[in-house]
Amino acid sequence: MSEINTNKPLLEVKGLKKYFSTKRGMLHAVDDVTFTINHGKTLGVVGESGCGKSTTGRSILRLLEPTGGDVIFDGEDVLKLDKEQMRKKRQEMQIIFQDPFSSLNPRKTIAETIAEPMNIHGILKSKDEVDARVLELMDTVGLARRLMNVYPHELDGGRRQRIGIARALSLNPKFIVCDEPVSALDVSIQAQILNLLEDLQEEMGLTYMFITHDLSVVNHFSDDIAVMYLGKLIEKAPADELFAHPTHPYTQALLSAIPEPNIHKKTERILLKGEITSPIEPKPVCRFAQRCNYATDKCRSQEPQLKEISPNHFVSCFLCDNM
């Protein structure tokens, strides 16, 4: 797929917001998140539980209806589409879910599960065509054809995740949100699935948004990495740059916390104070200030904005003002 221009954005997300109303007030799950992903590239989104990374992915596909912002996909604002148009659009935008144990219908066979999206969208006329396509997809993702008529409970996690991938591919999408696709899997199986996703990207020119909490996986897999904290995008940079020059104090702490399988490399660990604070009705101050080792009065009274500190490296932190 050489004609794909990897310098052109496929997805532009601008000021995306998703709030949930709770008894105690508005929960700002995703708050003013802006980024772009170019054709054929992978954006890794990292952050800890509750930072809004999955909600961002789902809001882009409108599996959750965003509260505000724009999502421009291939030049078209998907938030303006009506229900029927959106359903069609999802042929191009798919998702792979985290837990292959709960995201498959236990009463459908593998073949039925993979065929379902094609039947819903009616993209293939005859049953023979669908069957042929199902087998082709099973080959693509490395599922043995003899498994066609088995049920999900008969399979291990790695194979189930392959089904999820085959189903996402069945409509020939351009863009796939991978929501923690390997975190439920053992390392040896995880590596198999990561290689498969890489191969598919190369062959089909896919664009990925890769959501994970595993920093070594995101580093391996992504072109750009966005770090989220409490609904905010706090740092974004090309993967090499982010790992070489992590700038936001949270990113620094996050990277230093990775336990590396190397007994000769001793990294100085930055321990954070306390735990993630509440995302309900956050004050307009830096959301990381409470746990930050460098927080000043300014951080506790004003909200930092995302700034470009070097080409393509964006950080939202007042410390960068002095740089």
Partner 1 sequence: MSENMKKDLELDIKNLVVEFRTDAGVTQALNGLDLEIEKGKTLGLVGETGAGKTTTGLSILQLIPDPPGIIVDGSIKLAGEDVMMKSEKEMEKIRGQQVSMIFQDPMTSLNPVMTVEDQIAEVVAIHEVDANGKPIAYSDAIKRAKEMLELVGIPGDRGTEYPHQFSGGMKQRVVIAIALACNPKLLIADEPTTALDVTIQAQVLEMMKGLRDKYGTSMLMITHDLGIVAEICDAVSIIYAGRVIEHGSLEDIFDNTRHPYTEGLFNSLPDLDHREQRLKPIKGLMPDPTNLPKGCAFCPRCDYAMEICQTQKPPRVYRNDEHYVECFLYNEQNIKEGGVIGR
- Least separation in angstroms between residue 182's CB and partner 1 is 11
> Is the CB of 90 or the CB of 162 nearer to partner 1?
162
Pair of tokens at residue 201:
């990207």
| Shortest CB 93 distance to partner 1, Å | 27
- The kind and range of the H/E element at 177 are strand 175-179
Select 91 or 192, whichever has its Cβ closest to partner 1. Answer: 192
In the block, tokens 């101050």 appear at 285
Angle at 230 between CA 225 and CA 234, to 5 degrees: 40
Toward partner 1, which CB reaches closer, 73 or 208? 208
Residues near 275 by beta carbon (within 8 Å), at least 6 away in sequence:
291
- 46/79 with CB nearer partner 1: 46
In whole angstroms, how close is the CB of 230 to partner 1 at the nearest point? 13
- Closest contact distance (angstroms) between CB of 193 and partner 1 is 9
Going by the DSSP 8-state scheme, the letter that residue 204 receives in this structure is H
- In the complex, least distance from residue 302 CB atom to partner 1, rounded to whole angstroms: 24
Binding site for partner 1 (CB under 8 A): 48-49, 156-158, 186-192, 194-195, 198, 213, 215-217, 219-221, 239-240, 243, 253-254, 256-263, 269, 271-272, 275-276
The Cα–Cα gap between 279 and 199 comes to 38
CB 43 within 8 A of CB 222: yes
- Report d(CA 160, CA 236) in Å as an integer: 32
Q: Choose between 16 and 239: whose C-beta lies nearer to partner 1.
A: 239
CB 229 within 8 A of CB 223: no
Q: Which is nearer to partner 1, 138 or 253 (CB)?
A: 253
Bridge partners, 220 (sequence order): none
Q: Which residues pair with 225 in a beta bridge?
A: 44, 237
We find the least distance from the C-beta atom of residue 223 to partner 1, in angstroms, to be 11
Q: Which two tokens stand for residue 43?
A: 């954006």
**Residue 46 vs 118, nearer CB to partner 1:** 46
Cα 237 to Cα 159: distance, rounded to the nearest angstrom: 33
Give 71 or 272: the residue with its C-beta nearer to partner 1: 272
Residue 66 to residue 16: CA distance in whole angstroms: 7
Among candidate residues 151, 175, 172, 180, the one with its CA nearest the CA of residue 163? 151
Q: For residue 321, give the 3-state DSSP assignment.
A: helix
Residue closer to partner 1, measured from CB, 79 or 194: 194
292: tokens are 């930050």
CB of 178 to partner 1, least distance (A): 15
| Beta carbon of residue 91, minimum distance to partner 1 (angstroms, whole number) | 30
Question: What is the phi/psi pair of residue 72, to 5°?
Answer: -100, 115
3-state secondary structure of 112: helix
Shortest separation between residue 186's beta carbon and partner 1, angstroms: 4
